[in-house]
Amino acid sequence: MSSSRHDLLRRQSELAWALFEYHLERLTADDFLWEPAGLCWTLRQDATGTWVPDWADTEPEPVPVPTAGWVSWHLGWWLGATTDQVRGRTPRARTDVVWPGPDDAVAWLRALGEDWRGGLEQLTEADLDGPAGPLPWQDDPERTLADTLAWATAELMKNVAEIGQLRLLRTASRH
């Protein structure tokens, strides 16, 4: 049985999304803004009602524990920008990513996943040898688009685990 790199990368992404769906089906609006520690990064509404993420250009020490909402916004930023890259669009800036709020976050994440999977489907095996683009290596000429796709799946798995662990902790803390 022969398999292309494209098929392998697509299957890895599908596995990550299947694991994510386990948590997406169970997340509540309250899970997104639950703060598991005193030092947290979360999202807060500004005067216009827009959700704004906590952010520092230099990672603080100690690193704040992110809420599930913050992780979902972060996932929306990097996955959206990487999807833009895969689809030949200009990658969105961090400051252009607007989190929809806890009531609409699951639908927003699922829509991001659909856009991502659609981008993967349009790629050919030859596309995988193309340049990696700006994410995450800042146009490193040694990296290819295949490297970017493998990184994206690893980053997705990390974010899925973080959101899942936060959801499990919140659920267990209520019992």
Q: What are phi and psi of 53, to 5 degrees?
A: -80, 145
| Pure H helices in the chain | 5-24, 29-33, 68-86, 105-122, 145-173
- Topology given in CATH for the domain delimited by 5-173: Four Helix Bundle (Hemerythrin (Met), subunit A) (1.20.120)
Q: Does the pLDDT at position 47 exceed 60?
A: yes
End-to-end CA distance of the chain: 49
Instruction: Identify the band that residue 2 occupies on the pLDDT scale cut at 50, 70 and 90.
Output: very low
| pLDDT for the residue numbered 56 | 95
The closest alpha carbon to 76, from 109, 27, 51, belongs to: 109
pTM here is 0.94
Question: What digits encode the pLDDT tens for the residues 100-130?
Answer: 999 999 999 999 999 999 999 999 989 999 9
Residue 59 one-letter amino acid: E
User: Around Cβ 98, how many Cβ atoms within 10 Å?
Assistant: 13
User: Which has more confidence, 3 or 46?
Assistant: 46
Pairing state of beta strands 65-66 and 40-41?
parallel
How far is residue 100 from each of residues 72, 88, 130, 154, 172, measured CA to CA in Å? 10, 25, 33, 24, 26
Beta bridge partner(s), residue 144: 131
Domain boundaries defined on the chain:
5-173
| pLDDT for the residue numbered 171 | 93
Instruction: Identify the band that residue 1 occupies on the pLDDT scale cut at 50, 70 and 90.
Output: very low
| pLDDT for the residue numbered 109 | 97
Contacts of residue 5, Cβ cutoff 8 Å, sequence gap at least 6? 125, 128, 146
Averaged pLDDT score across all residues of the chain: 93
Q: Does the pLDDT at position 95 exceed 80?
A: yes
Q: Does the pLDDT at position 3 exceed 80?
A: no
Distance CA 29, CA 129 (A): 41
Share of the chain above pLDDT 70, in %: 98
| pLDDT for the residue numbered 137 | 75
Which tokens sit at 79? 């996955």
Instruction: Match 């993967």 to its residue by tokens.
Output: 120
How far is residue 17 from each of residues 43, 49, 114, 119, 143, measured CA to CA in Å? 24, 30, 10, 15, 24
| pLDDT for the residue numbered 129 | 92
